[in-house]
Amino acid sequence: MAAFASPYITQSSAVLHGVPIVAGTRIPVWVISEYAADGLSPGEIAGAFDDTLTSAQIRAVLAAVQGSPSAGSCLDCD
């Protein structure tokens, strides 16, 4: 599994089959990336999760996945 240089992303085979998630949640990083790609702002993404995440967390996650494209994509979503 890939290691991320962000305290905002964790990955464990025991959680969501090893899909990278936002630390402290079960929200997959690829979902955050998809919302951002669809044009949602960090505030809008936070609102989509009932403010479980902060805009700062979302910005940090997006910055971290820019260097690791596979973390921010769903490889087996269908």
The pLDDT tens digits for 27-58 are 999 999 999 999 999 999 999 999 789 988 99
Comparing C-alpha atoms, which of 17, 28, 60 is closest to residue 42? 60
Threshold 0.95, pTM exceeds: no
State the chain's mean pLDDT as an integer. Answer: 83
Q: Assess if residue 34 is contained within a domain.
A: yes
Structural domains of the chain, count: 1
Q: Assess if residue 1 is contained within a domain.
A: no
DSSP 3-state of 22: strand
Q: What is the DSSP string of 26-60?
A: --BHHHHHHHHHTT--HHHHHHHTTTSS-HHHHHH
CATH number of the domain bearing residue 21? 1.10.10
Q: Assess if residue 47 is contained within a domain.
A: yes
Q: Assess if residue 8 is contained within a domain.
A: no
Domain housing 47:
17-72
